[in-house]
């Protein structure tokens, strides 16, 4: 997973994949968060939908 945006929205249907999928999205945003000196937040943005974003 590669992104050039400030957030990733994920629709995760399989409950057993939630942790792994969110962790992968966090790993993808970590270099940008470190470079821009900001954090990462994860929010539940809908039914089975999570948003992983840079927290500025």
**CA within 13 Å, CB half, 23:** 5
Asked if residue 21 has pLDDT above 90, the reply is: yes
Task: Please tell me the distance from the alpha carbon of residue 12 to that of residue 19, in angstroms, as a whole number.
Answer: 10
Number of structural domains (the chain) is: 1
Domain residues for the domain of 22 are 7-55
- Kindly state whether residue 2 falls inside one of the protein's structural domains: no
- Kindly state whether residue 13 falls inside one of the protein's structural domains: yes
Please, what is the Cα angle at 12 between 1 and 52, to 5 degrees?
A: 55
- Kindly state whether residue 35 falls inside one of the protein's structural domains: yes
Per the DSSP assignment, residues forming a β-bridge with 7 are: 53
What number is the average pLDDT over the span 28-54?
91
pTM of the predicted protein model: 0.80
Query: What pLDDT, on a 0 to 100 scale, did the predictor assign at position 48?
Result: 94
- Kindly state whether residue 28 falls inside one of the protein's structural domains: yes
What number is the average pLDDT over the span 28-43?
89
Task: Retrieve residue 25's tokens.
Answer: 């999205």
Place of tokens 């792994």: 20
Q: Which helix (H) or strand (E) holds 56?
A: none
């Amino acid at each position: 997973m590669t992104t050039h945006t400030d957030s990733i929205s994920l629709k995760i249907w399989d409950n057993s994949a939630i942790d792994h999928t969110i962790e992968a999205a966090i790993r993808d945003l970590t270099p940008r968060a470190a470079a821009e000196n900001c954090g990462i937040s994860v929010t539940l943005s809908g039914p089975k939908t999570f948003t992983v974003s840079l927290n500025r």
